Chain A
């Protein structure tokens, strides 16, 4: 289900799966993360670049304070707008500002990590990564 559709469809009473929004331009990594998270019972939507991510964020109705995913998994090196810009946008968005954001990136310098946390990232995982570790760290914010 498209994230925007899910966000706008609050009419059913059945328990809703936790949703994760992955912003990752690498197709292989995006595929494996989606595969793994869907196996764990999460609903996953993806964006391949920063611009697409910002468009998706903007598409959620501002009047509905629950119209956002339960967690964002965010790469930094993205086309058009980088992950830091996307993170800043999320943290200033009225609806999305409290969504947990987990950075997943190859940038491992202390300066990058400090910057992400200073801008409001909740967690920072460097690549190469362990899939199980990503899962454990994500679940911390979703339980």
Chain B
């Protein structure tokens, strides 16, 4: 037993030393790799930043060959500048990309087996507005991967908004895996001129659940088209969620009577949207209507009615507090006082 102990200790010490050496060597290696990457990045930026700046400014100096190892960094810089600039500067960004052959490189990336390459390719080709990528991007629209399909959709709308909208828009309703914020951003980028008519048509011809998504995208359309679409849908809509979605979009005083038509709707969320909509368009003569909603069975409807009352410029704050004092139901008094306080804070 005593003879074994020194041996065990020696083995343990040797193993511990070996592990420490390996760990230290790994740290040193990682540090060297990081330094090398940083040096490469600095070298790349020193070479290409001024050239990007020249092209953004409108000049076209001679360009060095884009090395394969610099392609990801170049794509990153091009995509970054594309998001940071607008107007004529974007032409310069596209020109520098095409001048180094990035269009061909991105087309190859789009056909790669790796998802990250395909995504990068789609983003770059959209920013370059490369028409040769059209067919491949249309194929990627049907990908089960929502990031790839949405990125392809965005690229199509960048390349040709008028042609792309008829392909992309039907998917905006059916692809519930596409986040609505991402879809809205994409449609805003395409512009209301390209989007309005097709979106209005989809709203009117679709049924649940797609129609609710389309209604929520209506702020991307021209205002007059959006308002007309909502009014058309409400003429025949019986589904409460569809009605509530439409009321959410209403901002025009001309819709006053339509909104009031839903004042006593059986569903609380419809009454809520009606109260909020009337709050947006009311000119101050609807005080009795809002006071009626202060007795609603839903706390949210009561609160929004109190908020709407508090926001009416002509509404007298002193009288408002007297009204609050007259109600005996504790929850209603609380609602009114909360809204009063919110208005006081807003007025400073």
Contacts and interface: CB of A to CB of B under 8 A. Distances in A.
Interface of A: 26, 28-29, 31-32, 35-36, 39, 127-133
B57 A39 contact: yes
B84 A127 contact: yes
Nearest to B86: A128
Given A28-B81, A36-B57, A39-B57, A133 B87 contact: yes
Interface in B191-241: none
Given A28-B49, A32-B56, A128 B88 contact: no
Interface of B: 49-50, 52-53, 56-57, 77, 80-81, 83-89
A43 B75 CA distance: 31
B85 A36 contact: no
B84 A128 contact: yes
Contacts of A28: 49, 77, 80-81, 84
A79 B86 CA distance: 25
Nearest to A132: B88
Contacts, number: 40
Closest 3 CB pairs of A and B: A130-B87, A35-B53, A128-B86
Interface majority SS (helix, strand, loop, mixed), chain B: helix
Nearest to B59: A39
B56 A131 contact: yes
Contacts of A31: 49, 53
A29 B83 CA distance: 11
Contacts of B53: 31-32, 35-36
Contact of B86 (A36, A39, A130): A130
A36 B52 CA distance: 11
Chain B CB within 10 A, most for which of A31, A129, A131, A132 = A131
A2 to B, nearest CB: 22
14 contacts: A26-B84, A28-B49, A28-B77, A28-B81, A35-B53, A36-B56, A36-B57, A128-B84, A129-B85, A130-B86, A130-B87, A130-B88, A131-B89, A132-B89
A128 B57 contact: no
Contact of B57 (A26, A127, A131): A131
Nearest to A36: B57
Given A130-B88, A132-B88, 5 more contacts: A26-B84, A28-B80, A28-B81, A128-B83, A132-B87
Nearest to A29: B84
A130 B50 CA distance: 17
Contacts of B81: 28
B92 to A, nearest CB: 9
Contact of B85 (A26, A35, A128): A128
B83 to A, nearest CB: 7
